[in-house]
Copies of this chain bind each other. A is one copy, B any other.
Amino acid sequence: MPLHTVRVFVTLKPSVFDPQGRTIVESLHSLGYGNVADVRQGKYFEVQVEAANAEDADALVRDVSSTLLANPVIEGFRLERAEPAGRR
């Protein structure tokens, strides 16, 4: 079966406090980047799966994301299909 690459973005839900992002903002301010208003940190995954077609690949990665990559209590995720795997 062909390889498909799917990108997964995992972000904290808007209501969840993001201490890492907060720390980055404060560091940037002390480095002189006063124009940075906010930073939210998330996770990013490039997942390569074997699947008959792009729809199957999406469904598999969606399943994987909610099982292992994101914590659905505090995080959300979204998927994005990448160009065919060879081009990376």
A3 contacts B43, C-beta separation under 8 Å: no
The 4 A-B pairs with the shortest beta carbon distances in the complex, nearest first, are A44-B44, A42-B44, A38-B48, A37-B48
Q: How many A residues touch the partner, as a band?
A: 35 or more
CB-nearest residue of chain B relative to A40? B46
Contact check, A43 vs B44: say whether CB atoms are below 8 A apart.
yes
Question: Chain B residues with Cβ under 8 A from A41's Cβ?
Answer: 43-45
Question: Which of A10, A37, A50: most chain B CB closer than 10 A?
Answer: A37
- Is A47 close to B, CB under 8 A? yes
Contact B60 A37 (CB under 8 A): no
**Contact residue among B37, B60, B63, B69 (Cβ-Cβ distance under 8 Å from A49):** B37
